């Protein structure tokens, strides 16, 4: 009898890596997920990124929600588990414009996508596949042992739940940012 891999769910701002067969799953709206995989040593991991850029670590403790921090944390975890940096390849998902009322240039999903692609280019990690942008939400299932991804675009009911979850997290982030960085809006 063949053993089915364990499943781990990650949410906004979380990441997970394993050298053992595990299915990492998440649900994405405007957030993005990077699935990194070392095909030689069969070590892989995934993160769930809320915002592009990096956190102000002096004032903000939820650093893994930001792209730079989330990528560095995931890469370091993969290396700790036996992965080798030069072997890493990436599969990217998410960044959907699930709130059609937001204008394209202000839409955070586009910024997440652009930032992640630039980061991987600078870090010399090849993107071997992606499913980015559009208006769909996505369920992503990543097998850390084979590097395979099963992707399912979601219907309206799940889309509404994801939008609500992302709004909730965004409001929490905005409150923390305003607490430390007052901004005048004209």
| Domains of the chain: residue spans and CATH | 6-180 (3.30.1330.200)
Burial status of residue 1 (CB atoms within 10 A of its CB: 0-12, 13-18, 19 or more): exposed
* Per-residue pLDDT at 157: 64
**Can you give the pLDDT at residue 138?**
92
pLDDT tens for residues 118-149? 999 999 999 999 999 988 889 999 999 999 99
Catalytic sites, residue numbers = 31
Indicate the pLDDT class of residue 164, thresholds 50, 70 and 90.
confident
Query: How far, in Å, are 38, 119, 151 from residue 81 at the CA level?
Result: 11, 22, 25
3-class secondary structure, 36: strand
């Amino acid at each position: 009898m063949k053993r089915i891999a364990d499943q781990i769910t990650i949410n906004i701002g979380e990441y997970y890596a394993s050298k053992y067969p595990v299915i990492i799953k998440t649900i994405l709206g405007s957030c993005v997920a990077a699935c990194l995989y070392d095909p030689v040593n069969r070590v892989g991991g995934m993160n769930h990124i809320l915002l592009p850029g990096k956190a102000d670590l002096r004032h903000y403790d939820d650093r893994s929600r930001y792209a730079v921090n989330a990528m560095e944390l995931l890469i370091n975890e993969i290396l700790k588990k036996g992965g080798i940096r030069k072997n890493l390849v990436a599969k990217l998902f998410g960044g959907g414009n699930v709130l059609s009322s937001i204008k394209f240039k202000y839409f955070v999903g586009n910024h997440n996508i652009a930032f992640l692609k630039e980061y991987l280019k600078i870090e010399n990690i090849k993107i071997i596949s992606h499913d980015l942008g559009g208006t769909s939400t996505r369920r992503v299932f990543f097998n850390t042992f084979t590097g395979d991804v099963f992707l399912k675009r979601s219907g309206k009911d799940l889309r509404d739940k994801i939008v609500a979850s992302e709004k909730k997290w965004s409001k929490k982030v905005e409150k923390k940012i305003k607490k430390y960085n007052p901004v005048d809006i004209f």
